[in-house]
Structure 1
Amino acid sequence: MNIDITRLYFGKAAAEREVPSNPDRFWRTYLDRWNLSEQVLEHEKFLILGPKGSGKSAAAYYVELDWKRRFGDEAVFFSIVDFDELNRTQSPLTSIDKKLVSDQVSTLTDAAWKLFLGVRLLDSLIGDNSCSLSRDPKILQFVSELRKAGLASDDYPQVLRRVRERKGGVKIPYASYDVTSKDSELVSPGQLGDAIIDLIASAKTPNRHLLAIDGLDKAIGDNDAYWRTLAALIRVGDKVTRKFLITGNRNVYLMIMCRSDVFRRVDFADAPKIAADSGIHMDWGAELQDFREVLLWDYLARKAEIDRDQLLNLLPTYVRVGDDRPITTPKYILDFTRYTPRDITELFRALQSRANVYRSLTGEQVRAAADSFAKNHLLHEIKSESVGLLPGEATKRLEQVLSCLPSRVFDKGDLTQALVEADLTGKIPLSEFGEYLFLQGAIGNYRADRGYVQFYHRRNTAQFDRRGPWILHTGLTYALNLPFS
């Protein structure tokens, strides 16, 4: 079969745009290498971790669509809170300061998240006509009172303020099927979250309700209160998920998507344990030595709805670089990415724009596409990913710093001088800047006797050699037009 690469579909850069355009195709062409659908269904996992572009948002949409095909469209209720898309009447998480969040009031921050998540899930259950709660007038009245008191707001900072005020209380009704002598009990704002989670855990419905929390990696703030708020969300997400697991609840589920380098800044005792026990790390296998075996080829082939070998056969065998040295094309292409679906998708879309209809790709076309990808996508991504993780001045001048490097291979003195030339002396420690570049896959440790260096997002800086020398990512070297030696 003669396959034309210009006619193939390789997905879009963001699931938020891909899913609405053709949900059936998205579900059909999704590569579920982590068995996401089943692990979330069994309450085994709730936390989706990975670098930017690894497919975290897509994971939530896939679980929704997969469940609808398993249980029926009417049997799945899906809602998503995207903190990057709040309307103008709501406060971003970055607006939270130390007056609202500190060590002394961490329990109130947790209580506010329980309330915020609980209300979202309660709203979903009330909208389900098959749910016991939707038929209870006391529950409907209770939700109405929550809204009047400002405790059911879509604005988390507002909910946190109400909880911190500790004023008044709301009567939470016992469900009509509970055996009790009371019809209701007055509960303080700080206790409401726990009471609502208990109420949700006791609800009866044949349907599934999934709440997804996204946009945390875009709402980054350069303040300690933000990180404490995010830590509280992860803590509460773990407690709520375990609550549903222990009670045998098969109706209500939670998913939280968080960038791995953002999660690294979330500092609380149980964070590593939660990531290990309840997290899925979206890692696409950068360590494999055989470049044809990297799972990104399976990902692309699934999107294009062709076989993996058919996809690889569309590429020329070699690309010639420098002194006419041949490099196998799969290796050459992967060297320009940081092993994420978004990177490989954007690069193949660049390839399509340079390919001729029903003509084989040439090495020159591959080189031109890779160069365009590096300049128009990779450099921008690495800079945008630094927002909130580096000081503002360092983010603004990141490209300038890299442009000041003398060559692709550089040492500690070269990086120090580049920071001086970008006027960043004293504004960011050299070690912090180097660690960031290492985590983002922008640089790697360089040892001339060890041969090839692979570039990909890392989960931590344990392997980072702070002494140097280092080597710059292939794509960045091309994008900034730096000497290779």
Structure 2
Amino acid sequence: MEELTRLYFGKAAAEREVALNPDRFLETYLDRWNLSDQVLEHEKFLILGPKGSGKSAAAHYVALSWKKRFGPESVFFKPVDFDELNRTQSPLASLDKSLVSGEVTHLTDSAWRLFIGIRLLDSLLEDGSCNLTREPQVLRFVADLREAGLASDDYPQILRKVRERRGGVRVPYFSGEVTSRESEVVSREQLGDAIINLVARAETPNRHLLAIDGLDKAIGDNDAYWRTLASLVRVGDNICQRLLAARNNSTYILIMCRSDVFRQISFSDGPKIAADSGIHMDWGSEVQDPNSVTLWEYLAGKARVHKDHLLGFLPKHVTVGSGSGRKILTTRYLLDFTRYTPRDMSLLFNTIQRHATPYAHLTGPQVRMGADNFASQHLLSEIKSEAVGLLPASVIQKIEFILSELPSHKFTKEELASALSGAEISDDISIQKLGEYLFLQGAIGNYNATSGYVQFYHRRDTAGFNRRGPWILHTGLTYAMNIPFSSS
């Protein structure tokens, strides 16, 4: 007989889950968005969602599902994680206006086309079935790019090389067939375009997927960083459209970006690209029945049990408060400790497992203990880490102090202002900006005495934010910070 302590609920990081057991990851993945087909048809290339929503997992799922569909030897997956590259290369956050500004947007775009193009070309040259591998001129061309530093993993270095505007580069000319006699000379600004043309017309029966991730793990709090990300999204959309126009069925790109980071990117086509070519991995919604939330399907899928079977492991109610207390439906109680992301659910249930007794029914006190530990060990640290680059460093350092100074679970604008003043950073951020950030991250919600219930999850925008207050603090944070539920 199955029991809760023996079930698998996933890992916090998709990369680790895939490395441990790729077959299990693929079999237990909940694909709500038909990702595999949408990417295959060049319909989508941009994966948006809050931290922990499964963006990195989406790229691995697409690659593994294609391998199952077309055969493991027929799919070439090339992940580029800027978080990993930041440890050995120049981080994107280090870019400044001397390299990236409104006056040189075309150069930033050119560098991204080159950066992406060379990685796609590298992948194709690893494919023995691709016609480019039989052309010595193409192989020499790539070798020359490496020697010139134009094929580096370091994007800032490529941008510097493009900005140098030195002499032209000889590129194999491609008009349906590459020959050793045909080539053309292009400038460094045009080099990325020429490589994309080469990639778009390459012929192979196999699939090549380039996934760009880790853009939001080292956010730079400067205009150059946001312009660089805007350029990447703009170029990604252009490449996707060119591959579609060329009827290319072999080469694909995916770009993963946090929705709160994407919100900071300002360029005219941003909303259109997000709407037409983006997949929003939102799991939170205003659902009155907590048992109908899709995250239970996600968790049951990971555990390889039916959703009703999973919910059957839980006590029906959890008792909170002193004395006889009040009973809260366990599913609602647990969801209120999360911000409606798969990562939160996996971490929460892994924590509860550690407090459960093998071969015994899970009890309300065990649920409460697991939820409390999840909130104190994971939730608060996530809130702080997500703020890097989006809030001033002084505010991030004091965010725990600010929240702990709130008088109760429900608080007013004036009480938040008092907490901010007590942290002595009132000059670093306005009440409105801090409130908007906490609302976007699902750390606070609008309080309405008549609604009786507030759901906490990441929002895409602040359109629904009540800037006058009062507000209510996330339930998990309330427990983690030991804040009273009543001011009396």
| Common fold by TM > 0.5 | yes
Question: Matches of 1:161 and 1:179 in 2, distance apart?
Answer: 30
State yes or no: 1:229 paired with 2:225: no
What is the CA deviation profile of residues 279-338 of structure 1, one whole-angstrom value per residue up to 9, with x for unaligned ones? 000011432111101011000100000011000000000001115111110000001000
1:191-340 alignment to 2 at 5 Å?
191-323=190-322, 324-340=325-341
Distance 2:301 2:88 in 1: 41
SS where residue 449 of structure 1 aligns? coil
The one-character-per-residue Cα deviations of 1:237-294 (angstroms, maximum 9, x if unpaired) are: 0000011111110000000000000000011001111111000000114321111010
Contact 1:172 1:184 in 2 (8 A): yes
2-structure distance, mates of 1:23, 1:179: 38
Question: 1:183 Cα shift?
Answer: 1.3
Taking the aligned partners of 1:240 and 1:178, their CA distance within structure 2 comes to 21
- Structure 2 counterpart of 1:476: 477
Spell out structure 1 runs of 4+ moving beyond 2 A.
175-182
Separation in structure 2 between the aligned mates of residue 181 and residue 377 of structure 1, nearest angstrom: 58
Provide the rounded CA distance (Å) in 1 between the counterparts of 2:379 and 2:180: 64
Letter in 2 for 1:308: K
Q: Which residue of 2 aligns with 1:102?
A: 101
1:86 deviates by 1.2
Equivalent in the alignment of 2:170: 171
Q: Does structure 1 retain, via aligned residues, the 8 Å contact 2:176–2:201? A: no
Change in 2 beyond 3 A, CA 1:179/1:94: closer
One-letter code aligned to 1:105:
V
Q: Is the 8 A contact 1:321 1:327 kept in 2?
A: yes
Which residue number corresponds to residue 375 of structure 2? 374
Q: Specify whether residues 64 and 140 from structure 1 end up closer, same or farther in structure 2 by C-alpha distance, changes over 3 A only.
A: same
Number of the residue aligned with 2:466? 465
Matched, 1:124 2:123: yes
CA offsets per residue over residues 348-399 of structure 1, 9 Å max, x none?
0111001011111000100111111110010110011000000011111111
Q: Give the Å deviation of 1:176.
A: 8.0
Cα distance in 1, alignment partners of residues 333 and 68 from structure 2? 39
Give, in whole Å, the separation in 1 of the partners of 2:392 and 2:181.
55
Does the Cα contact within 8 Å between 1:139 and 1:175 map onto a contact in 2? Answer: no
Report the CA distance shift for 1:88/1:470 in structure 2 as closer, same or farther (over 3 A): closer
Secondary structure of 2:80 counterpart: strand
Q: How many residues align?
A: 484
Matched, 1:392 2:397: no
Q: CA deviation at 1:211?
A: 0.1
Using the size of structure 1 for normalisation, the TM-score is 0.98
Contact persistence 2:320–2:328 (CA under 8 A): yes
1:346 maps to which residue? Answer: 347
Q: Deviations over 1:30-89 (max 9, x none)?
A: 111111011000000010000000000000000010000000011000001100001654
Report the alpha carbon displacement of residue 149 of structure 1 after superposing the two structures with TM: 1.3
Task: Measure the CA separation in 2 of the matches of 1:469 and 1:285.
Answer: 22
* 92 and 272 in structure 1: CA distance in 2 versus 1, 3 angstrom threshold: same
Instruction: State, as a whole percentage, how many aligned pairs show the same letter.
Output: 67
3-state DSSP of counterpart to 2:83: coil
Q: Distance in 2 between matches of 1:303 and 1:238?
A: 33
What's 2:152 paired with? 153
Q: CA deviation at 1:147?
A: 1.0
Letter matched to residue 309 of structure 1: D
Alpha-carbon distance in 1 for matches of 2:246, 2:196: 11
TM-score, structure 2 normalization: 0.98
Give the whole-Å Cα distance in 2 for the aligned partners of 1:181 and 1:303: 52
* SS of residue in 1 equivalent to 2:253: strand
Alpha-carbon separation, structure 2, partners of 1:312 and 1:155: 48
Look up the SS of the partner of 2:333 in the other structure: helix
Which is further off, 171-180 or 472-481? 171-180
**What is the CA–CA distance in structure 2 between the aligned matches of 1:385 and 1:181, rounded to whole Å?**
51
Name the SS of the counterpart of 1:339 in structure 2: coil
1:7 aligns with 2:9: no
**CA shift at 1:175, angstroms?**
3.6
* C-alpha separation in 2, matches of 1:253 and 1:179: 22
Query: Could you tell me how far apart the structure 2 residues matched to 1:87 and 1:448 are?
Result: 47
Q: Is the 8 A contact 1:51 1:259 kept in 2?
A: yes
Query: Structure 2: which 5+ runs fail to align?
Result: none
Unaligned runs of 5+ in 1: none
Q: Which residue of 2 aligns with 1:138?
A: 137
Q: How far has the Cα of 1:217 moved from its partner?
A: 1.4
Q: Are positions 1:434 and 2:458 aligned together?
A: no
| Residues 8, 291 of structure 1: alpha-carbon distance in 2 compared, 3 angstrom cutoff | same
Q: Offset at 1:181?
A: 11
Distance 1:476 1:88, change over 3 A: closer
- The answer as to 2:22 corresponding to 1:31 is no
Conserved 8 A contact 2:99-2:160? yes
Contact 1:133 1:175 in 2 (8 A): no
User: In 1, are the aligned partners of 2:80 and 2:211 still within 8 Å (CA)?
Assistant: yes
Amino acid at match of 1:478: Y
Determine the structure 1 residue equivalent to 2:185.
186
Q: Secondary structure at the match of 2:318?
A: strand
